[in-house]
Amino acid sequence: MQLTTPLQYDGNPRETADQVVELEKAGLDMVWVAEAYGFDSPTLMGYLAAKTERLQIAAGILNVFSRTPGAILQTAAGLDNVSAGRAVLGLGASGPQVIEGFHGMPYEKPLGRTREIIRLVRSGLQREPLESHGIFDIPLSEGQGLGLGKPLKILTRPERDSIPIWVASLGDKNVEMTAELADGWLPIMFVPDKAREVWGDSLDRGAAKRDASLGTLQINAGGMVAIGEGEETKALLDFLRPMYALYVGGMGARGKNFYNELAQQYGYEAEAKEIQDLYLDGKKDEAAAKVPFEWLEASNLVGPASYVRERIAAFQEAGVTHLAVSPVSDNPAATVSQLKDWVS
């Protein structure tokens, strides 16, 4: 297993990015740089490329709506160049709140857009012209560009003619498409013991259509890591409650919330409804209190060393190839070094 971490920052991302250098020395293999509707991901990825030497630098994620396919290709190729071949492109559909509320674009055909961007980025890195297949324009005939003119190929020569493409997905059809087309999969709030039950059929359907040249689908999942005895260590999981409540309760409307559906698939139907009702009524603290502790515990790695090692084994058995870790300790680099010994 490789070790990865999400770049988490509050206010000034430079300070957190500087800590990534120490994590790289400790054995971290990859950093995921989020975007949401804060700072953009590529700027921080370029900053990290200049400060690190070995680390894979991943967009985690770029949404498929706010940039044209050509712009995503340029970004991926540019980051791969300045990092000397260490870029990873993470893509996802995000959600209506961000796409419509922040970017002012209609949230339409997320699966079709994702599928087409994967195709275009891969062909573009091969320096093939970007030709329309009807997703990004008023349908144009075959052979026309992504607009009204002649299709063009990228002007500069990419560092690599293939960059790993990962997709963040949860819904059945999206996960199936991910297993078919992507190099890697980015699930969230992943419970390894229930993953097969929730996503097994979708993963199998996608794998059946997968091109053998892509190899085995890589999976990145994990969570908070806190190694220690006693109730005070377990109590750290409570700090995750607001985040889980935000996703389950606030990231979507009633009847259209992928994270709420995930909670239900995990067996928390009643809790999912209650969390959403409370959250949408503005009772965020009460909603957070309703997040099942069992879910927090199963989707993170918090407890004595022996227990954390058991959870790592559970993630590995579920097919996780890249263990995502967010260390909570006085010395995160030392925690990463300890984990590196365990997963090697």
* Tens-place pLDDT, residues 288-311: 999 999 999 999 999 999 999 999
**For residue 131, what are the β-bridge partners?**
145
pLDDT band at 252 (very low <50, low <70, confident <90, very high): confident
pLDDT band at 195 (very low <50, low <70, confident <90, very high): very high
Whole-model pTM? 0.95
DSSP 166: E
Rounded to whole angstroms, what are the CA distances from 74 to 77, 79, 205?
Answer: 5, 8, 32
Output the CATH code of domain 2-227+300-343. 3.20.20.30
DSSP 244-258: HHIIIIISSBTTB-H
* pLDDT at residue 139 tops 50: no
DSSP 145: B
> Across the chain, what does the average pLDDT equal?
94
The token pair that represents 241 in the structure block:
């409650």
C-alpha 280/C-alpha 245 separation (Å) is 10
| Average pLDDT over every residue of 100-104 | 95
- Contact present, 88 and 79 (Cβ < 8 Å): no
The token pair that represents 133 in the structure block:
């297949």
Inter-axis angle of helices 305-317 and 332-343, nearest 10 = 50
CA proximity to 297, closest of 231, 251, 343 = 231
pLDDT score of 148:
58
pLDDT band at 143 (very low <50, low <70, confident <90, very high): low
CA proximity to 325, closest of 10, 13, 30 = 30
Q: In whole angstroms, what separates CA 69 from the centre of its chain? A: 19
- Contacts of residue 154, defined as CB under 8 A and 6 or more positions apart, other chains included, come to 73, 74, 77, 124, 125, 127
Backbone phi, psi, residue 56, to 5°: -75, 135
C-alpha 25/C-alpha 52 separation (Å) is 9
Domain map (residue ranges) of the chain: 2-227+300-343
- Amino acid, res. 27: G
Lowest mean pLDDT among 9-13, 116-120, 233-237, 301-305: 9-13
C-alpha 78/C-alpha 94 separation (Å) is 23
pLDDT score of 145:
61
CB-based burial label for 209 (10 Å; 0-12, 13-18, 19+): exposed
**For residue 224, what are the β-bridge partners?**
326
- Contact present, 166 and 220 (Cβ < 8 Å): yes
* pLDDT at residue 132 tops 80: no
DSSP 213: G
| Average pLDDT over every residue of 309-315 | 98
Cis peptide before 72 (omega within 30 of 0): no
